[in-house]
Chain A
């Protein structure tokens, strides 16, 4: 989307002094906005490498006087923290694969206009976009299924995002039907068509939705809040919440603690660890999510 945006201010010529002043102010203002966005993150990053004394003594810094890695050493030696990290990575990976599988296999038949019953199913899906059972009835279903304190509770209730399902369905409808038909005539079953023809053509949209789903699970705080009580099964987001909140002292007590721990630096470091993977994938995220926003805004 960077192509057409160049046609705006760049091709217009302004030379009045007022216009020049505006340009300078605009440049500064937007630079300021960008700074407000990233400075808190950079401060937290710097703080996670600083000593306890420096964090409390210096009002603001982006580079610690003494770069220390003891906070991270503590984290990676601590069972609870390490377990939360591994849990989150595994849940995100398994969840994303499951969500993609379910979403794409369901979207494919729904894209076949000639399939009897399709409209009914589609309407049932669309209904869930505007109305649902809500927090308590969903909680009761998860509990009745015996999923409380199970990692599956973080994945299964969110297995298909109805909105994504409809976007993928629309994408399948746009695919050239001639290829599929040729494969069918050659004796391919629908399953074969799906795996050999449709999925290879869908690589870009698979990439987009893996990122959508992965970010959603990684960032999810509500599901573990609702369904996980056992602190051995905390995800990273819960841990971040527990450590950086006004009643953090209780949580730190739960970290089968040794005598010394970097209480302040720990808060900075867990925020960094929970943020870092997102920032590593950020270039891909930006590209694919921007596309997703614009796909989503196009009416079916």
Chain B
């Protein structure tokens, strides 16, 4: 069927057709390309855009039996309930507090490790350490949780036992006590991410011109001054970009990490937006209210990302888009 149409297609190679082409001509001429686009478009329509349409149930009292069109519209009822009810303050506080702890403890960790690795003089040892500290990045949150459980469980936890041996007193149930929830989240993040996070900084450090060190040494700079005046300025832009990226995702804790550590005893400190949405929406069937919570978080997230991007450009960085 394609034989008589082949010549125009050959002419349609890149660069030959500037300007607008009538839709029917384009569809015919590029039929194979459009055909290749179809499965992907179906995917995006079904699993990305249909759920976006589904967000309308945040303004309904959604009953699955009645469907999207049949369920009664209730305006901003669920948002009013969210903002005046007891959940919002707790969710926002838990989310932001974890974000703050992450910024203070987790964000700097890979920078420090990368700088230390950069000072190692034995290449083999450096690569050996790198290969080991990258491993946790590839392990699932389930595995990370299981390790935490095997090490910190009140009955048989290895580390829990050591701490008990050192301090005496009653055994502490780290996994159940609300006070220990946030420290455990931070510990897990440090273990899982600080090794892998060094890659981007090491790449920046590797691109430093060795002549700069040479010049600094000629000027009498010792090791510390070379670090301060050459190494650190070299990775400053990377740190700024990473900081902007991180703050754009301020509201995004890892759902899996938080959910796995959550139990009935620590829920007051553990609930963040995503896990709350799953708990109320999927487990309890409060579809509309949970969707309203999710929509609030989604919109706030978009504002944050664009805000941080704007800030990045104001600061003279490239920004993300």
When each residue 139-160 of chain B gets 1 if its CB lies under 8 Å from chain A and 0 otherwise, what string results? 1111101110111010010100
Contact B203 A1 (CB under 8 A): yes
The reply to whether the CB of A258 lies closer than 8 angstroms to some CB of chain B is: no
**In whole angstroms, how far apart are the Cα atoms of A98 and B32 in the complex?**
20
Contact A106 B147 (CB under 8 A): no
Classify chain B's interface size.
35 or more
Smallest Cβ distance from B47 to chain A, in angstroms? 5
The reply to whether the CB of A204 lies closer than 8 angstroms to some CB of chain B is: no
The reply to whether the CB of B131 lies closer than 8 angstroms to some CB of chain A is: yes
Given A33-B133, A43-B158, A184-B10, CB of A134 within 8 Å of CB of B203:
no
When each residue 1-29 of chain B gets 1 if its CB lies under 8 Å from chain A and 0 otherwise, what string results? 01000100110111111001101001000
Contact A132 B203 (CB under 8 A): no
The reply to whether the CB of A53 lies closer than 8 angstroms to some CB of chain B is: no
Contact A299 B318 (CB under 8 A): yes
How many A-B Cβ pairs are below 8 Å?
Answer: 315
Given A23-B121, A102-B40, A225-B259, CB of A40 within 8 Å of CB of B2:
no
Contact B139 A275 (CB under 8 A): yes
When each residue 213-250 of chain B gets 1 if its CB lies under 8 Å from chain A and 0 otherwise, what string results? 10001000011001000000000000000000000000
Given A33-B113, A33-B133, A116-B21, CB of A131 within 8 Å of CB of B302:
yes
Contact B55 A137 (CB under 8 A): yes
Given A60-B158, A133-B55, CB of A138 within 8 Å of CB of B150:
no
Q: Which residues of B contact A165 (CB under 8 A)?
A: 40
**In whole angstroms, how far apart are the Cα atoms of A14 and B40 in the complex?**
57
Q: Which residues of B contact A109 (CB under 8 A)?
A: 30, 33-34, 36-37
Q: Which residues of A contact B179 (CB under 8 A)?
A: none
Cβ-defined partner of B14 (8 Å) among A114, A121, A160, A285:
A114
The reply to whether the CB of A65 lies closer than 8 angstroms to some CB of chain B is: no
Contact B140 A221 (CB under 8 A): yes
The reply to whether the CB of B74 lies closer than 8 angstroms to some CB of chain A is: no
Smallest Cβ distance from A243 to chain B, in angstroms? 8
Of B81-89, B96-104, B289-297, which binds chain A? B289-297
Given A132-B298, A134-B294, CB of A34 within 8 Å of CB of B33:
no
Smallest Cβ distance from B204 to chain A, in angstroms? 10
Which residue of B is nearest A187, CB measured? Answer: B6
In this complex, how many residues of chain A approach chain B with their Cβ under 8 Å: the count is 116
The reply to whether the CB of A66 lies closer than 8 angstroms to some CB of chain B is: no
**In whole angstroms, how far apart are the Cα atoms of A128 and B33 in the complex?**
22
**In whole angstroms, how far apart are the Cα atoms of A14 and B225 in the complex?**
12
Cβ-defined partner of B217 (8 Å) among A12, A41, A189:
A12
Which residue of A is nearest B278, CB measured? Answer: A135
When each residue 245-281 of chain A gets 1 if its CB lies under 8 Å from chain B and 0 otherwise, what string results? 1100000000000000000100110110011001100
Smallest Cβ distance from A274 to chain B, in angstroms? 6
State the A residues within 8 Å of B (CB). Answer: 1-2, 4-12, 14, 16, 19, 22-23, 26-27, 29-31, 33-34, 36-38, 40-41, 43-44, 47, 55-56, 59-60, 101-103, 105-106, 108-110, 112-117, 121, 124-126, 128, 130-141, 143, 145, 156-157, 159-160, 162, 165, 177, 181, 184-185, 187, 189-191, 194, 215, 218-222, 225-226, 237-238, 240-241, 244-246, 264, 267-268, 270-271, 274-275, 278-279, 282, 285-286, 289-290, 293-294, 297, 299
The 7 closest A-B pairs by CB, nearest first: A133-B51, A106-B40, A137-B54, A219-B140, A190-B32, A134-B294, A137-B51
Excluding A106-B37, A181-B13, 10 further A-B contacts by CB distance (< 8 Å) are A5-B202, A106-B41, A110-B37, A134-B297, A136-B281, A137-B294, A191-B32, A221-B140, A222-B256, A299-B320
Give 16 CB contacts A-B under 8 Å: A9-B120, A34-B132, A59-B162, A114-B17, A116-B23, A130-B305, A131-B298, A189-B9, A221-B260, A246-B176, A268-B150, A275-B139, A275-B143, A286-B131, A289-B138, A293-B200
